[in-house]
Amino acid sequence: MSIFSLFKPSASSSPLKPATQPKTQPPKTEDVTTQQSDTKQIVEQAQNKAREIILEAKDEAFKLREKARAEAEQLKQSAEKLHQELEEKTRRYTEVKARLEERDSLTQKQLEMAQKRLEEVEKLKTKQIAALESISGLTKEEAKKRILELVEKRSVSDIAKSIKSAEEKARAEADIRAREILVDSMYAGATDYVAEYTVTTIKLPDDEAKGRIIGKEGRNIRAFEKYSGVDLDMDEPGVIKLSSFDSIRREIARVALERLIKDGRIHPTHIEEFLSRAKRDIERVIYQEGEKLCHAVGVYDLPRELVSLLGRFKYRTSYGQNMIAHTLEETKIGIKLAQEVGANVHIVRLGCLLHDIGKVVEGEGSHVELGVKVLKKYNLPKPAIDAVAQHHEDEEFSSVESILVYIADAISGARPGARYENYDEYVQRLEKLEEIATNHPSVAEAYAIQAGREVRVIVSPEKISDDACVKLASDIKQEIEDSLTYPGTVKVNVIRETRASAVAQ
Cβ 484 vs Cβ 433: under 8 Å:
yes
Q: Which domain holds residue 475?
A: 423-495
Angle (CA) 494-499-505 rounded to 5° is: 160
CATH code of the domain covering residue 309: 3.30.1370.10
pLDDT at 28: 56
Q: What is the 3-state secondary structure (H, E, C) of 118-162?
A: HHHHHHHHHHHHHHHHHHHCCCHHHHHHHHHHHHHHHHHHHHHHH
**Rounded to whole angstroms, how far apart are CA atoms 268 and 50?**
143
pLDDT value at 12 more than 60:
no
Q: How confident is the model at residue 422 (pLDDT cuts 50, 70, 90)?
A: low
**Rounded to whole angstroms, how far apart are CA atoms 405 and 330?**
8
Cβ 330 vs Cβ 418: under 8 Å:
no
The full DSSP string for 443-501 is: EEEEEEETTTTEEEEEE-TTT--HHHHHHHHHHHHHHHHHH---SS--EEEEE------
pLDDT at 482: 85
3-state secondary structure of 397: coil
Domain count, the chain: 2
The residue type at 147: I
Domain end, chosen from 397, 414, 431, is at 414
pLDDT value at 494 more than 80:
yes
Q: How confident is the model at residue 382 (pLDDT cuts 50, 70, 90)?
A: very high
Q: Which residue has the higher pLDDT, 117 or 185?
A: 117
Average pLDDT, the chain: 81
CA distance readout (Å), 6 to 9, 14, 47 = 8, 18, 15
CA distance readout (Å), 447 to 4, 328, 430, 456, 472 = 152, 36, 9, 5, 16
Asked if 233 and 308 sit in the same domain, the reply is yes
**Per the domain annotation, does 143 fall within a domain?**
no
Report the percentage of the chain scoring pLDDT > 90. Answer: 19
**Per the domain annotation, does 458 fall within a domain?**
yes
Q: How confident is the model at residue 450 (pLDDT cuts 50, 70, 90)?
A: low
**Per the domain annotation, does 84 fall within a domain?**
no
Asked if 347 and 465 sit in the same domain, the reply is no
Q: Which of 315, 392, 284, 366 is nearest to 374 (CA)?
A: 366
**Per the domain annotation, does 70 fall within a domain?**
no
Name which of 18-32, 59-73, 488-502 the model is least confident about: 18-32
pLDDT at 291: 92
What tens digit of pLDDT does each residue of 263-300 get?
Answer: 888 888 888 888 899 899 989 999 999 999 999 888 88
Cβ 331 vs Cβ 193: under 8 Å:
no
**Rounded to whole angstroms, how far apart are CA atoms 149 and 136?**
17
pLDDT at 19: 44
pLDDT at 17: 44
The residue type at 201: T
**Per the domain annotation, does 168 fall within a domain?**
no
Q: How confident is the model at residue 416 (pLDDT cuts 50, 70, 90)?
A: low
Cβ 257 vs Cβ 272: under 8 Å:
no
pLDDT at 414: 65
Q: How confident is the model at residue 192 (pLDDT cuts 50, 70, 90)?
A: very low
Alpha carbon 384 to its chain centroid, in Å, reads 10
**Per the domain annotation, does 13 fall within a domain?**
no
CATH code of the domain covering residue 467: 3.30.300.20
Range 87-101 average pLDDT: 91
**Rounded to whole angstroms, how far apart are CA atoms 404 and 141?**
44
**Rounded to whole angstroms, how far apart are CA atoms 330 and 352?**
6
Asked if 447 and 384 sit in the same domain, the reply is no
Domain end, chosen from 414, 433, 464, is at 414
Asked if 344 and 223 sit in the same domain, the reply is yes
Contacts of 434 (CB under 8 A, 6+ apart): 446, 447, 448, 455
Q: 241: which strand partners?
A: 201, 233
Name which of 40-54, 95-109, 420-434 the model is least confident about: 420-434
**Per the domain annotation, does 460 fall within a domain?**
yes
Name which of 14-18, 113-117, 210-214, 215-219 the model is least confident about: 14-18
Asked if 326 and 383 sit in the same domain, the reply is yes
**Rounded to whole angstroms, how far apart are CA atoms 143 and 151?**
12
What tens digit of pLDDT does each residue of 238-258 get?
Answer: 888 888 777 788 888 888 888
Asked if 363 and 409 sit in the same domain, the reply is yes
Name which of 75-84, 313-322, 398-407 the model is least confident about: 313-322
pLDDT at 197: 40
pLDDT value at 13 more than 80:
no
3-state secondary structure of 201: strand
Name which of 20-29, 216-225, 260-269, 354-363 the model is least confident about: 20-29
Range 311-315 average pLDDT: 87
Q: Which residue has the higher pLDDT, 255 or 503?
A: 255
pLDDT at 27: 55
**Rounded to whole angstroms, how far apart are CA atoms 484 and 493?**
18
Backbone angles phi, psi at 46, to 5 degrees: -65, -40
pLDDT at 1: 44
Asked if 218 and 294 sit in the same domain, the reply is yes
Asked if 278 and 392 sit in the same domain, the reply is yes
Q: How confident is the model at residue 502 (pLDDT cuts 50, 70, 90)?
A: confident
pLDDT at 347: 92
Asked if 352 and 475 sit in the same domain, the reply is no
Alpha carbon 36 to its chain centroid, in Å, reads 118
pLDDT at 93: 92
pTM for this model (two decimals): 0.46
pLDDT at 195: 40
Q: Which residue has the higher pLDDT, 148 or 293?
A: 293
Range 174-188 average pLDDT: 60
pLDDT value at 15 more than 50:
no
Q: 318: which strand partners?
A: 321
Asked if 450 and 406 sit in the same domain, the reply is no
In terms of C-beta distances under 8 Å and separation of at least 24 residues, what long-range contacts does 181-185 make, across chains too? 181/337, 181/340, 181/341, 182/337, 182/411, 184/336, 184/340, 185/332, 185/333, 185/334, 185/336, 185/337, 185/340, 185/408, 185/411
Asked if 371 and 434 sit in the same domain, the reply is no
Range 224-230 average pLDDT: 84
Q: How confident is the model at residue 7 (pLDDT cuts 50, 70, 90)?
A: very low
Domain end, chosen from 414, 447, 480, is at 414
Alpha carbon 97 to its chain centroid, in Å, reads 50
Cβ 463 vs Cβ 441: under 8 Å:
yes
**Per the domain annotation, does 277 fall within a domain?**
yes
**Rounded to whole angstroms, how far apart are CA atoms 142 and 138?**
6
Name which of 24-33, 108-117, 159-168, 213-222 the model is least confident about: 24-33
Asked if 409 and 444 sit in the same domain, the reply is no
What tens digit of pLDDT does each residue of 325-346 get?
Answer: 888 888 988 898 888 888 899 9
pLDDT value at 357 more than 70:
yes
The full DSSP string for 231-282 is: EEE--STTEEEEE-S-HHHHHHHHHHHHHHHHH---SHHHHHHHHHHHHHHH
pLDDT at 127: 84
